[in-house]
């Protein structure tokens, strides 16, 4: 935080201290109750306000499930060399697609638009630290991600013959969520970098090609060769690789993607690097936005 006071001499501080006016609380004022209550209120407000935007719910929850229902069941009869069904590989692919859309739209575009509307400006004049705002967005997105994944898993089991062990279900669920949190700073960076009106366009420009080139829609092995050369340089491809590794044999992943494995550690490294790199970028963009707002 920038200090607005350029320099306070000790004398001035003492003079100021004995003249500090007392708090004048109204009779009806009450303590508002702690950081946890604040965070809960923030998350609830985010959740409620997102639920009321039908385009948001449809875009984030319904579209991945619907797309999977279109492409998953017809591919359930094909299996990879070690026996994994194509539909089983596609299901978490569409999950990753949905979570990427949460990252870019629920964070990125929403933040950019709320910046444009001046809500952040008003919040900055209150005692609330910025992390409450970002934490509220993150928690809300995790909630929506859980809903999306549960719907997708149910659709997979019911209509696309997805059969996994209990532990595998849990693992794929956990990797999808954890990887989503690792990608979240991409959204924060977009939210604070993009001009409010441009954010949605930029979000779409990043989102669709990235999902496609990471093999979230169709197996990379079926796509043009240059995409297979490009994919290992995309953090989202490594996200997908980790997701598939949580339940499928390595040979099946190689067959499905058409890309030789680079190792779990490399993929984890890519996600950690993305998290750190975009966090730094988002922090810089946040400070730049605040400075601009300060003039």
Partner 1 sequence: MIVEMRGVEKRYGDVQALAGVDLAVAPGEVVGFLGPNGAGKTTSIRVMLGLTAPTRGEARLFGGAPDRREARGRVGVMLQESGVPTSLRVREVVALFAHYYPYALPVAEVLARAGLEDKAEALVSALSGGQRQRLYFALAIVGDPDLLFLDEPTVALDVEGRRAFWRQVVGFVELGKTVLFTTHHLAEADAVAQRLVVIDKGRIIAEGTPSEVKRRVAARTVRFRAPLDVAALAARPQVQRVDAEPGGLTAVYTSEPEGLLRELFAEGAELRDLTVTDADLEAAFVALTGERGVAA
Q: Is 220 helix (H, G, I), strand (E, B) or coil?
A: helix
Instruction: Examine residue 45 and tell whether it contacts partner 1 (CB under 8 A).
Output: yes
Task: Report the residue from 10, 11, 30, 265 that binds partner 1 according to the rule CB under 8 A.
Answer: 30
Distance CA 30, CA 14 (A): 30
String of b and e for 57-80 (b: at least 16 CB within 10 Å)?
eebbbeebbebbbebbbebbeeeb
On whether the CB atoms of residues 251 and 81 are closer than 8 A, the answer is yes
Instruction: Examine residue 41 and tell whether it contacts partner 1 (CB under 8 A).
Output: yes
Q: For 85, list phi and psi in degrees, rounded to 5.
A: -70, 145
Task: Report the residue from 10, 11, 19, 165 that binds partner 1 according to the rule CB under 8 A.
Answer: 19
Instruction: Examine residue 123 and tell whether it contacts partner 1 (CB under 8 A).
Output: yes
Q: Is 165 helix (H, G, I), strand (E, B) or coil?
A: coil
End-to-end Cα distance, the chain:
15
Distance CA 153, CA 172 (A): 10
Closest CB to partner 1 among residues 165, 294: 294
Instruction: Examine residue 57 and tell whether it contacts partner 1 (CB under 8 A).
Output: no
Task: Report the residue from 78, 81, 83, 117 that binds partner 1 according to the rule CB under 8 A.
Answer: 117
Instruction: Examine residue 174 and tell whether it contacts partner 1 (CB under 8 A).
Output: no
Per the listing, tokens 């975009």 go with 278
Q: How far is the CB of 174 from partner 1 (least distance, A)?
A: 31
On whether the CB atoms of residues 156 and 162 are closer than 8 A, the answer is yes
Q: For partner 1, which stretch binds (CB under 8 A), given 23-31, 79-87, 228-236, 262-270?
A: 23-31
On whether the CB atoms of residues 219 and 89 are closer than 8 A, the answer is yes
Instruction: Examine residue 16 and tell whether it contacts partner 1 (CB under 8 A).
Output: yes
Q: Beta-carbon neighbour count of residue 148 at 10 Å?
A: 25
Q: Beta-carbon neighbour count of residue 294 at 10 Å?
A: 9
Q: How far is the CB of 244 from partner 1 (least distance, A)?
A: 37
Q: For partner 1, which stretch binds (CB under 8 A), given 30-38, 163-171, 231-239, 263-271?
A: 30-38
Q: For partner 1, which stretch binds (CB under 8 A), given 79-87, 111-119, 229-237, 267-275?
A: 111-119
Task: Report the residue from 10, 11, 52, 55 that binds partner 1 according to the rule CB under 8 A.
Answer: 52
Closest CB to partner 1 among residues 56, 237: 56
Task: Report the residue from 10, 55, 125, 224 that binds partner 1 according to the rule CB under 8 A.
Answer: 125
Per the listing, tokens 């194509």 go with 86
* Strands (DSSP E) found in 168-225: none
Closest CB to partner 1 among residues 34, 224: 34
Binding interface with partner 1 (CB under 8 A): 1-8, 12-13, 16-17, 19-21, 23-26, 28-33, 37-38, 41-42, 45, 48-50, 52-53, 114, 117-119, 121-129, 293-295
């Amino acid at each position: 935080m920038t200090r607005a006071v350029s320099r306070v001499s000790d004398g001035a501080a003492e003079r100021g201290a004995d003249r500090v006016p007392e708090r004048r609380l109204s009779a009806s004022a009450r303590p508002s109750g702690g950081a946890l209550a604040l965070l809960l209120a923030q998350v609830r407000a985010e959740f409620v306000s997102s639920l009321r935007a039908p385009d948001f719910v449809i875009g984030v929850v319904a579209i991945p499930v619907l797309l999977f229902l279109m492409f998953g069941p017809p591919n359930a009869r094909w299996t990879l060399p070690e026996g994994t069904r194509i539909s089983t590989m596609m299901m978490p692919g569409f999950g990753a697609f949905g979570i990427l859309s949460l990252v870019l739209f629920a964070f990125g575009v929403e933040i950019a638009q709320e910046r444009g509307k001046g809500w952040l400006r008003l919040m900055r004049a209150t005692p609330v630290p910025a992390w409450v705002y970002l934490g509220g967005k993150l928690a809300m997105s995790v909630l929506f991600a859980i809903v999306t994944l549960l719907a997708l898993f149910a659709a997979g089991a019911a209509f696309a013959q997805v059969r996994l062990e209990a532990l595998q279900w849990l693992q794929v669920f956990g990797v999808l969520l954890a990887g989503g949190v690792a990608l979240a700073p991409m959204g924060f960076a977009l939210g604070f970098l993009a001009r409010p009106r441009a954010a949605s366009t930029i979000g779409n420009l990043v989102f669709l090609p990235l999902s496609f080139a990471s093999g979230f829609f169709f197996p990379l092995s079926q796509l043009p060769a240059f995409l297979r050369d490009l994919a290992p340089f995309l953090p989202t491809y490594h996200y997908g690789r980790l997701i598939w590794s949580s339940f499928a044999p390595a040979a099946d992943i190689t067959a499905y993607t058409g890309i030789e494995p680079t190792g779990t550690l490399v993929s984890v490294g890519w996600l950690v690097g993305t998290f750190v790199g975009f966090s730094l970028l988002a922090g810089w963009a946040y400070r730049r936005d605040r400075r601009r707002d300060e003039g």
